[in-house]
């Protein structure tokens, strides 16, 4: 255990083995926000929450989810300060609970990030093809997915500073378009655009709360990934926890306010029915009626870039898990190699690209519709895995600082305890509604959470012998 702790705390690798970057707090925060895909979450996930979830109460549910994630980020930020270096879930759980538990968590995290990268790659191709069809371009969803994955592969192998230059303006543009929609609703309706009904206990606890909470928390997936960029950040001891808290705060406020305004713009009593009728076109239609058809068309195109930004951010996160696992001998060491010119985890990035491509190509080649068959399963699996790990990290915060006899109770006890309770409840609700998320009645499909359990115990069994 002592050797493991020393290895995990070592921040100065040998020359040529270190990832390099010049990321600041704001850049890292936007890289993290890109994984949350604000525009994509509002345009594609929110209608599902309105229709299948608790309707107007989704606004209040996003408030609860945002509060839980803020509590999570407070404790998580303190853990990042206390345990410096790269590795995120893997590193922190290894230090707090031992190498075996850390290795098990790392395999669950890697599987979850690969699953959500697959899901986003599929949805990127589908939505881009649908959007381009309106402009007379129809090359098929698979062609667009190949284009996105080729770009992701190139940028994933480049230095992270270059990737940040691509992602940052895309994320800022997403926020700007959501701001325009919210402003147009507010200027039309004034403070009536914020209906109290949408944040009432009655609306929040109405039928469908479980689905609404799943949608809301899924919109925050990836917010913990800032710690994966520790070796590529300026002053990581400050920029990483700062970026995590900034990302969570910005996303929480933006989601809550825009969802509340959307409820006000459509009407609290009408939102559920409108979502059932318009489904995925609900928010695009709102853009069209509020700001104009030209803006709605632009937003449709920006949804494609939002999905791409999300894909690249998630690819980078999965890549860094592969690189760290390979560095600690859980995967072939060649995957830990750093590109000599780009200072990037190029081999790990290539593996992630190949795995994602294979997982999409194989079922598609034998006749399965990837959007119908694969997308729901990978999204549900990744949601369950990552939220479960967030709950585990909240427990790690409490355990670690109890050992240190730290008395900052608000940051290292109360906040993580609230997050642990709320996220654990969310894991239960996701598991209970797993069939609804996957849209399948197959025992094989709905039994996929067992894969995460199997991977965790595989890591537990193999972790000790493979760790340096």
Q: Greatest CA separation found in the chain?
A: 65
Q: pLDDT-derived band of residue 21, with 50, 70 and 90 as boundaries? A: low
Between 304-308, 390-394, 425-429, 433-437, the lowest mean confidence (pLDDT) is in 433-437
**Radius of gyration of the chain, Cα coordinates, nearest whole angstrom:** 21
| Mean pLDDT along residues 283-311 | 88
Q: N- to C-terminal Cα distance for the chain? A: 10
Q: Are 434 and 446 in contact, with CB atoms under 8 Å apart?
A: yes
| Pure H helices in 12-133 | 25-36, 38-40, 46-52, 58-82, 89-97, 99-133
Q: pLDDT-derived band of residue 9, with 50, 70 and 90 as boundaries? A: very low
Q: Please give the mean pLDDT across all residues of the chain.
A: 83
Give the separation between CA 466 and CA 102, rounded to whole angstroms.
Answer: 12
Query: What domains appear along the chain, each with residue ranges and CATH number?
Result: 2-9+19-463 (1.20.1740.10)
- What pLDDT was estimated at residue 13? 38
3-state helix, strand, coil in the chain (%, to 5): 80, 0, 20
pLDDT in tens, 70-122: 999 889 888 888 887 666 788 889 899 988 999 899 899 999 999 999 999 99
Give the separation between CA 464 and CA 330, rounded to whole angstroms.
Answer: 10
- What pLDDT was estimated at residue 148? 92
| Mean pLDDT along residues 331-355 | 82
| Mean pLDDT along residues 203-232 | 79
3-state secondary structure of 24: coil
Nearest to 302 by CA among 462, 200, 156, 179: 179
- What pLDDT was estimated at residue 244? 82
3-state secondary structure of 350: helix
- What pLDDT was estimated at residue 72? 92
Please report, rounded to a whole number, the percentage of residues in the chain having pLDDT higher than 90.
28
pLDDT in tens, 150-205: 988 888 776 555 566 777 787 788 888 999 999 999 999 999 999 999 999 998 98
pLDDT in tens, 246-281: 888 888 898 999 999 999 999 988 898 888 888 778
Higher pLDDT, 221 or 86: 221
Cβ-Cβ contacts under 8 Å for 25 (sequence gap 6 or more)? 238, 239, 242, 243, 246
Residue 7 has pLDDT above 70, yes or no: no
Residue 438 has pLDDT above 90, yes or no: no
Q: Are 423 and 394 in contact, with CB atoms under 8 Å apart?
A: yes
Give the separation between CA 437 and CA 431, rounded to whole angstroms.
Answer: 9
């Amino acid at each position: 255990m002592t050797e493991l702790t020393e290895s995990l705390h070592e921040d100065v690798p040998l020359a040529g083995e270190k990832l390099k970057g010049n990321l600041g707090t704001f850049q890292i925060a936007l890289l993290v926000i890109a994984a949350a895909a604000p525009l994509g979450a509002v345009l594609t996930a929110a209608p599902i929450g309105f229709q299948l979830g608790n309707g107007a109460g989704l606004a209040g549910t996003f408030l609860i989810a945002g509060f839980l994630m803020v509590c999570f980020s407070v404790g998580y930020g303190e853990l990042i300060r206390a345990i410096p270096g790269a590795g995120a879930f893997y590193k922190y759980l290894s230090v707090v609970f031992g190498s075996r538990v850390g290795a098990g968590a790392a395999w669950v995290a890697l599987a979850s990030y690969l699953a959500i990268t697959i899901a986003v790659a599929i949805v990127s191709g589908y939505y881009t093809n649908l959007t381009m069809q309106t402009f007379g371009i129809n090359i098929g969803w698979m062609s667009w997915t190949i284009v996105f994955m080729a770009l992701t592969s190139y940028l994933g192998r480049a230095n992270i500073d270059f990737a940040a230059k691509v992602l940052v303006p895309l994320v800022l543009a997403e926020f700007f378009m959501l701001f325009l929609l919210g402003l147009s609703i507010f200027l039309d309706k004034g403070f009536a655009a914020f209906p109290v009904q949408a944040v009432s206990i009655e609306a929040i606890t109405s039928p469908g709360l479980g689905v609404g909470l799943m949608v809301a928390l899924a919109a925050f997936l990836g917010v913990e990934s800032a710690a994966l960029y520790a070796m590529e950040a300026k002053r990581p001891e400050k920029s990483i926890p700062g970026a995590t808290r900034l990302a969570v705060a910005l996303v929480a406020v933006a989601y809550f306010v825009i969802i509340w305004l959307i409820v006000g713009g459509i009407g609290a009593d009408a939102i559920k029915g409108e979502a059932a009728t318009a489904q995925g076109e609900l928010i695009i239609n709102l853009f069209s009626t509020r700001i104009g058809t030209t803006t709605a068309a632009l937003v449709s195109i920006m949804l494609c870039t939002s999905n791409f930004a999300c894909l690249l951010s998630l690819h980078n996160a999965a890549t860094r898990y592969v690189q760290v696992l390979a560095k600690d001998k859980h995967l072939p060491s060649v995957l830990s190699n750093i590109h000599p010119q780009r200072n990037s985890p190029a081999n790990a990035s290539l593996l992630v690209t190949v795995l994602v491509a294979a997982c999409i190509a194989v079922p598609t080649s034998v006749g399965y519709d990837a959007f119908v068959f694969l997308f729901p399963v990978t999204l549900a699996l990744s949601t369950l895995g990552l939220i479960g790990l967030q709950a585990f990290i909240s427990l790690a915060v409490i355990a670690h600082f109890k050992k240190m006899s730290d008395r900052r109770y608000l940051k290292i006890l109360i906040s993580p305890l609230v997050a642990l309770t709320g996220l654990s409840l969310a894991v239960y609700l996701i598991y209970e509604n797993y069939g609804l998320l996957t849209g399948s009645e197959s025992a094989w499909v709905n039994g996929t959470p067992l894969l995460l359990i199997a991977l965790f115990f595989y890591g537990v069994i193999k972790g000790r012998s493979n760790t340096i």
